[in-house]
Amino acid sequence: MANAGIVKGDRVIFQVKKSPEAIFLYLACLKLGAIAVPLNNSYTASELSYFLDDIEPGMVVCDPASPIIKDKLLHARDRTSLLTLDEHGKGSLFKNADNFSHSVQVADVIGGDVACILYTSGTTGKPKGAMITHGNLSSNALTLKQCWGFNKDDILLHALPIFHVHGLFVALNCALLSGTPMIFLAEFNVDDIIKFLPRATVLMGVPTFYTRLLSHPGLDSSTLKNMRLFISGSAPLLKEVSDDFYTKTGHRILERYGMTETVMIASNPLKGERIPGTVGQALANIDVRITTEDDKTLEVGATGNIQVSGPNVFKGYWRNPEKSQEEFTKDGFFKTGDVGFLDNKGYLTIVGRSKDLIISGGYNVYPKEIENIMNTLDGIHESAVIGVPHPDFGEGVIAVIVKEKNNKFDESNLKSLLKQELATYKVPKRIFDISEMPINVMGKVQKNSLRDKYRHVFE
């Protein structure tokens, strides 16, 4: 990368499949002081075009099959270097590695310098780049290492994607900081998890991991003989799943709470009471408070908006100072958009999301982004996208539409059209046609009514 002219502050987009070499790329960015921008492998050409325009990268590293190459998205970007890296660690990125300099000096960075930009969609449907600093990463990794007891004798079973906070920052940084070996799986497959669990001591996963493990006949005492810790995050873990897992394995899953803009915020304790349904107490040096809409702190037990402050909180949104300012209070607390309450022991319970976010299989899905696309399709007068309970993904994405007059409804065709514009996990699993949307006196779609109507569709 240094040989390609990448210097401190340059943005490096990588849209690659999971591999050890992809981690080397991420670490090289940190060493050079370049800003790493990992992107989901499922993004379509239209989504990627937006990111390329917004980031203006000095380098793009992508899988040979990426739309970046197939659709020639860098055709008019002469100043951007394009390299490839596949799931086997092959490609032009390392083609001439033997000729590269091995004496690249570590960049002189401070805690406030941006290390990574991760995109998170917004309620308007336009993704925002959250600027994560070196200070955010280091403070959170040091805290989590101690909080969860990571050490060199652990073996982490890593089956998470690496374009996401959970897999890239939380799991990976804990392991690297502790000298912990990893069993590095390309993706989650329940049979592979069962195969490698006897060799592991720690597993981090999303709730879907645990629902699938519970239904696997290979989950028994011999499989878990070396396991000391199961951690769940990125989506709510149902109390029934937590209880069933404890009954079957004797292990109480440790739930924690974080988000793109803050990395980790709170965690149930390693030693002490882990309460199903809660995400535990605020991590060291992090303040969590519950407030009213006008940012007044509420008493213990009262439900309100969750706000957070600490060294884990991001710097702001890339090239979006207005939105950055809007998301912080006057005294510096970040407005998470989640709703919850604190008990008298400081345990945080999340009861909802004020920003209409859907979390499906650990991935964030923002309805407005999907609705914006659906409403441009021929034959659709209006659409509403909601999340409803799903036995495997926690929440399943569904869409409800009102057709234009005399148009036929073809669910399969609509899904195919959406797959051309959206990552697969964003495409509604079901689409329903109704005669008119339920609205309130202000003309706003009553999504709660739709959720109630369709909440049992996946049962």
Question: So where are the chain's domains?
Answer: 2-108, 136-310+330-353, 358-454
Which residues, 6+ apart, have CB-to-CB distance to 299 below 8 Å? none
Inter-CA distances, 39 with 16, 19, 66, 223, 434, Å: 8, 14, 11, 34, 35
Angle at alpha carbon of residue 22, lines to 17 and 24, rounded to 5°:
175
Percent of the chain at pLDDT exceeding 90: 81
Of 93-107, 136-150, 162-176, the range with the lowest mean pLDDT is 93-107
Please indicate whether the domains covering 136-310+330-353 and 358-454 agree at the CATH topology level. Answer: no
Q: What pLDDT score was predicted for residue 125? A: 61
pLDDT at residue 101 is higher than 70: no
Q: What pLDDT score was predicted for residue 96? A: 65
Inter-CA distances, 360 with 80, 284, 339, Å: 34, 29, 18
Determine the CATH number of domain 2-108. 3.40.50.980
- pLDDT digits over 316-336, tens only? 999 999 999 999 999 999 999
Contact 305, 291 (CB under 8 A): yes
Query: Could you tell me which of 341, 373, 342, 371 has the C-alpha nearest to residue 356?
Result: 371
Q: What pLDDT score was predicted for residue 399? A: 97
- Spatial separation of the C-alpha atoms in residues 69 and 435, rounded to whole Å: 42
- Spatial separation of the C-alpha atoms in residues 437 and 443, rounded to whole Å: 10
- Spatial separation of the C-alpha atoms in residues 113 and 182, rounded to whole Å: 28
- So what CATH class is 136-310+330-353? alpha beta
- Spatial separation of the C-alpha atoms in residues 4 and 383, rounded to whole Å: 46
- Owner of token pair 């001591």: 201
pLDDT at residue 121 is higher than 60: yes
One CATH from 2.60.40.1250, 3.30.300.30, 3.40.50.2020, 2.30.40.10 for 358-454:
3.30.300.30
Angle at alpha carbon of residue 232, lines to 229 and 235, rounded to 5°:
175
Mean pLDDT of 439-444: 69
- pLDDT digits over 1-39, tens only? 666 789 999 999 999 999 999 999 999 999 999 999 999
- Owner of token pair 């345990």: 347
Q: Which two tokens stand for residue 168?
A: 């890239």
Percent of the chain at pLDDT exceeding 70: 96
Q: What is the dihedral of CA 227, 231, 236, 239, to 10 degrees?
A: 40
- Helices marked H in 250-326: 321-326
The SS3 call for residue 193 is helix
Q: Which two tokens stand for residue 352?
A: 């909802």
Instruction: Give 185's Cβ-side CA count (13 Å radius).
Output: 21
Q: What pLDDT score was predicted for residue 443? A: 66
Q: Tell me the residue type at 376.
A: T
Cα 398 vs. chain centroid, distance in angstroms?
A: 20
Exposed/middle/buried for residue 282 (C-beta within 10 Å: 0-12, 13-18, 19+)? buried
Helix (H) or strand (E) holding 14: strand 11-15
Mean pLDDT of 396-407: 92
Query: Could you tell me which of 337, 456, 312, 304 has the C-alpha nearest to residue 389?
Result: 456
Given 3-state DSSP classes, what are the helix, strand and coil percentages for the chain, each rounded to the nearest 5? 25, 25, 45
Which residues, 6+ apart, have CB-to-CB distance to 282 below 8 Å? 265, 266, 288, 308, 346, 348
Q: What secondary structure letter does DSSP report for 328?
A: B
Exposed/middle/buried for residue 97 (C-beta within 10 Å: 0-12, 13-18, 19+)? exposed
Q: Which two tokens stand for residue 61?
A: 């590293």
- Spatial separation of the C-alpha atoms in residues 34 and 9, rounded to whole Å: 5
